[in-house]
Structure 1
Amino acid sequence: MAQVSKTTNSWLDDKKRKATFRFDVIQIILIALGVLYLVYNFINYKNLWIVFISSFVYLLILAIFIRLAILYGRKNIRPYYLGHEAEVEIFEILEGLPDSYWVMRDPINSNTGNVDFAVIGPTGIFAIEVKSSGVSLDVKWGRLAYNGLSKYYGKDFVKQTKNGAFKISQCLKACGLDYFVQPILVFTHARGLRLGKNKLDNTYIVRKEWLNDIILEHKGAFVNESKISKLLVCLAH
């Protein structure tokens, strides 16, 4: 199993804890409101029919509220939530690498964007960008096309991935470590594209099933154990 930096472990634990806490709080609030409403009606009216009707109205309003919240969430919250779920899924896949590999979450986090994961191991250094978009991918005129378009809602994922690799490379150079950082763009739900282990614009573009194979079979510069330690120290700052 791949080794994981302390910051990555704390990120995953914090994410699970927050998700569980939010879900529990919402359930408790809704149940408490319902119980208080029923008690209030029973004390004031002492009529089972009134309590029944008012309870039905309360549940109807609650159901409408939940439905509206779901619709709002699909449009505004769901993409953000799915993005984080995809990152957790990819993290669990990366853990399946041999213990000679290290996985780091957010090694570079700046005002211009972050890098989802960096992987450091004997076959090289990798900057991994994770996307949960269920788009149809294809190659047109030497570029990645998203549902037939050159950009996905104004975003060029390949460029974003390469920028992330460049940031890591610059960070390493500042520490006196000159290494090529291989960009990998990984999709958890995309359709269509079958590049296999070939690159597009010097970037691997793969589905999650291929991710570890790409890393293990990459023909990059050999990184020995002593160098890995220096790289980890550099990216941890």
Structure 2
Amino acid sequence: MPAESAPLTSAHRAPSSVNGKRVLWSLLAVATLWVVFSNEVLLLIDYPLFREYRQLMIQDRALLIPHAVFGCVAFFTGPLQFSSRLRQRRPGLHRLMGRSYVIAVYAAALTAFAIGWDRPLLPATLAQGLTWIVVTTAAWVLARNGQIAAHRQWVARSYAVTFTFVSLRIPSVWPAYWNLPEASSVYVITATTLASVLVADLVMHWRELRGRRG
């Protein structure tokens, strides 16, 4: 009997884990699609609510374009770093994409600093960008040192910060969101960044948090 209990337990846990991952990635995909259609598309058609922001983006285009390109590289290569199939079958490609992700994070953060220099939201930009760089660097160093389990956790924290590109834009269709005082905007950006890292940790350790001593 004891010999049979372990396989049964793992068999029951595996579907729950897979389903949990699917639900999480599905929610992230829905949030991304919402932002694309409620924010990016409306920016292209010169939606009145976003007009001032659109003009600022045009003014910053020399730095904003590389920032957006590197940000998209990080955004779209990040999820592939969580693929066990890719990691096992194509380890070379996994490492290449990991390096591309790290470079993209650094480049996107540094261009964000340049865009926000001498502007009221600079403290929030620094808080967000430096957090992004720190957690990504930790993931990279741990991978170089062969500490793969810890590396995966820091990659999750890094991508959580990457995803703030989406999460900060979810309420963008709400007019009051655009009329927040500058100090409040700094707080929102900083708090969202730190909360994203915290949420990533809660998700990673959810099973342990729910566990009970037998």
Asked if TM exceeds 0.5, the reply is no
Is the strand fraction higher in 1 or 2? 1
Higher helix share: 2
Which structure is larger by alpha-carbon Rg, 1 or 2? 1
